[in-house]
Amino acid sequence: MISDLMPRKCKKVKTSPSVLRTLRENSGYTQEDIAKKLKIPLERVIAIENGEDLFTLSQIKRLANLYKYPLAAFFSDYVEPLPEF
């Protein structure tokens, strides 16, 4: 079938912008780092962390591996920030 040959578009998934920001910061990455790692514009990372856009599920899976957090953490309501020393 022709539809089998068409690329599948990965669905965007709703996550908490504050959880995404906290997970990134806890892992020691900047927004610029994430834009480069995911090969997306910095403006999109900023928009996602401001609640104006969403990551795709495949991008969230890549972040889970990169940050070394379980995938479930990205769908939590709250993540505790690491204490500053």
Can you give the residue ranges of every domain in the chain?
A: 12-73
Give the residue ranges of the chain where pLDDT is below 70: 1-8
Contact 19, 58 (CB under 8 A): no
pLDDT at position 84 is 76
pLDDT at position 47 is 98
- The CATH number assigned to the domain with range 12-73 reads 1.10.260.40
pTM: 0.85
pLDDT at position 26 is 96
pLDDT at position 31 is 98
DSSP secondary structure letter of residue 84: P
